[in-house]
Structure 1
Amino acid sequence: MPPRISTLLFTPFHGLAPCFSVLLCWLVSSPLWADTLWLENGDRITGKVIEKTATRWRVDTGYAGEIDIDAERVERVALDEPPAPSIKVANALGFATQPKPPDPETAREKAASSPTERPFTASGGVDIALEYDHSTADTQELELDVRQRIETGHWRHSWRAGYHREYRDGKRRKNDWHLAYSPKRFFAPQRFWQGRLSSNRDWGEALERRFSIGAGPGYQLWDNERGAFSLSALLTRNRYEYANVGDENFQAGVLQWQFNRYLWDQLFEVYANGRAGRALSRGTSFLLDTESGLRYPFTEWASLQMSVETDWVENSVEDLNDTTYNLGIGLNW
């Protein structure tokens, strides 16, 4: 082949050789993997997770540099890392190998689905409602409710105490108090055994005293930072003391529930607690004790509390049916 023809044929390929070399190096060095973060507003961030802490994710997007994302805004994470070199090779090349960042959603679900073991925590509060009505009859009313909850290991303990007093034209119309203690012992992530001990005293009703003790199994449907919901079935032994007739002792089957839910980024708390039962005797046939309400926190220790309480007992002596509406201030700790 003439020299000129040979030069003309091979010169184009010779000029493209550096381009092919650069392209080949870019393909080899560019990653074929990416991490993906889905945010709660529907956005999706793709890049390389380079740092993960309890409060943030740091992602190298490549197209927008490194960005920090609030960990609470991350709904789901998919990490896709390439095969890591051996420790000897990594040390020889000067790379520092780091463990894979944990998925916060997976850790959150694991903690929520396994409420059995917990460190010691204590929380509680007091709700105070005052009312004064000056009209044809002067009415003064006080509602006081104290609650305390302790969690440690497999145990959950809750105490409740309340006092209600009402005066009208200087005469006492209502004066009652109640106490309750309820322990729970978890033997599985969602199953527990619960007891309950309660006492009521009312000076204005024919049913003056009530005492109840019982125990039974329960099931925790969920328990996480957004709220909790549990159901339990108790077999109780009850003693009712009346003002004008003899005492009554009976057994009852009781269904008990506890529910609370935080709404709008924990701006409001909705709760509903109560128990309903039917006696295993002809004297007292039905009993219902419920409390539903709403709490709006002003600060970390003060809140506005609104609730409705129902106390209903059907028996052969005199039915009891009280409904109380409360609006007051709550102090929390």
Structure 2
Amino acid sequence: MGLRSVLLAILLGLAGPLWADTVWLNNGDRITGNIVLLDGGKLALKTKYAGQVLIDWKDIDTLSAEKPLLLRQEGLDSQHTQRLSAAGKGMVRIVNGTTKTVPLASVTRIVPARELLRDVVWEGNLDAKLDMERKDDDSDEFRLKGDTRLEHGRWRHVANGEYERETENGTVTDDNWTAEYDIDRFFTQHWFWRTGGEWQVDHLEFIDRARIIGTGPGYRFWDDTLGRFDLIGQVNDVEFEYEGGDLSFRTLSLAWDFKRLLWGTRFEFYSTAELQVPQISDIDYVLESEFGLRYRVNDWARVSLLYELDQIEAEGQRNSDEHFLIGLGVAW
């Protein structure tokens, strides 16, 4: 690369952060920052000095944006825009090869455009929960739960982990951990192929170790600033290790991964679940699911409420295990 190209790259790198979106309000005020999203009648704008602010869409006179966006209007499919330009009162100009001016009232959603082929994107969450009871028995329960995903180009890496330890009157009654890693290869904007494994270790239960290796197709319905929804089907090889022997069998599984930001990104609703159908005549299905709500205190701190439901149906009888968890966490 020549000297001129190097200098140009540096100048563009320095100039990029100076680009900002601008919002003009009906009262004449002007706010600059970066558009995070528009949803539910609230525009989330990340500013340099005040952090993320929420602006009622009806209070905006016009706005401009210098980056590609995905914009949806009433009764129309989402469309990509190269940029937005300020127009007359209550209007905005969409620039995408051609120029079109539309009323702000007709715009129902705006999210930054995300391309399949792009640089590395990394995100994750880590939540901790401590439950201490001092009644008839002294019981302490500690749980650490985390997930992360790393995307680069057509590849996506997904990792999850959980550690749980419980004591009662000084005696350990539960001590286990679980780790899962999956790698996805995208063939289109929506279709991908997943291969991964899950490992479980329990120091106190009948089954000491469990291993699950699976592969199969997946479909991404959407993945943007507002949230995501993936559906994955797999064929799995399962192996249990316990004192006195091992057990191996196969399962068919269907899993989903859902996340949705609410109320201008203040709240995050998420859900993951996996339905396993073992090739064992005595077991009909095994379901592991969770539904959670996180409140975003700031850019990194979260307060979380989680509901877990695990079910096993075998020989016509259904056994369910439910947990409600409240904890603190961090996100990136």
Task: Give the TM-score, by structure 1 length.
Answer: 0.67
Letter in 2 for 1:236: N
State the 1:102 CA deviation. 8.4
Distance in 2, matches of 1:239 and 1:320, equals: 22
CA offsets 1:263-285 (integer angstroms, 9 cap, x no match): 11111000000110111233654
State the 1:305 CA deviation. 1.0
Distance in 2, matches of 1:306 and 1:297, equals: 12
State the 1:289 CA deviation. 1.6
**Corresponding position: 1:144 with 2:157:** no
**Corresponding position: 1:57 with 2:70:** no
Distance in 2, matches of 1:144 and 1:110, equals: 32
CA offsets 1:225-247 (integer angstroms, 9 cap, x no match): 1111111110000001234x532
- 2:126 aligned counterpart, secondary structure: strand
- 1:118 aligned counterpart, secondary structure: coil
CA contact (8 A) 1:57 1:68 kept: no
Letter in 2 for 1:210: A
**Corresponding position: 1:278 with 2:291:** no
1:176 aligned partner:
176
Looking at CA atoms only, which structure, 1 or 2, has the larger radius of gyration? 1
Change (3 A) 1:312 1:100: same
- 2:280 aligned counterpart, secondary structure: coil
Structure 1 unaligned residues grouped into runs of 5+: 1-38, 62-66, 80-98
**Corresponding position: 1:118 with 2:118:** yes
**Corresponding position: 1:227 with 2:227:** yes
- 1:265 aligned counterpart, secondary structure: coil
CA contact (8 A) 1:116 1:187 kept: no
Structure 2 unaligned residues grouped into runs of 5+: 1-39, 42-56, 68-82
**Corresponding position: 1:304 with 2:317:** no
Distance in 2, matches of 1:328 and 1:44, equals: 37
Letter in 1 for 2:170: G
Distance in 1, matches of 2:174 and 2:208, equals: 12
Change (3 A) 1:117 1:130: same
1:83 aligned partner:
none
Identify the structure with the greater helix proportion: 1
CA offsets 1:34-81 (integer angstroms, 9 cap, x no match): xxxxx96579989xx9x763496322x4xxxxx697xxxx6xx678xx
- 1:247 aligned counterpart, secondary structure: strand
CA offsets 1:139-158 (integer angstroms, 9 cap, x no match): 11101012221010001111
CA offsets 1:99-126 (integer angstroms, 9 cap, x no match): 7558998x978946xx532320112231
Percent identity reads 28
Instruction: For 1:179-328, list aligned pairs within 5 A.
Output: 179-243=179-243, 246-282=245-281, 284-313=283-312, 322-328=321-327
State the 1:183 CA deviation. 1.1
CA contact (8 A) 1:58 1:68 kept: no
CA contact (8 A) 2:112 2:225 kept: no
Change (3 A) 1:220 1:202: same
Change (3 A) 1:231 1:135: same
Aligned length: 257
The list of structure 1 runs, each at least 4 consecutive aligned residues, that deviate by more than 6 angstroms after superposition, is 42-46, 102-105, 107-110
Identify the structure with the greater strand proportion: 2
CA contact (8 A) 1:239 1:248 kept: yes
Distance in 1, matches of 2:173 and 2:305, equals: 23
CA contact (8 A) 1:217 1:233 kept: yes
Change (3 A) 1:109 1:332: closer
Change (3 A) 1:210 1:284: farther
Distance in 2, matches of 1:44 and 1:175, equals: 54
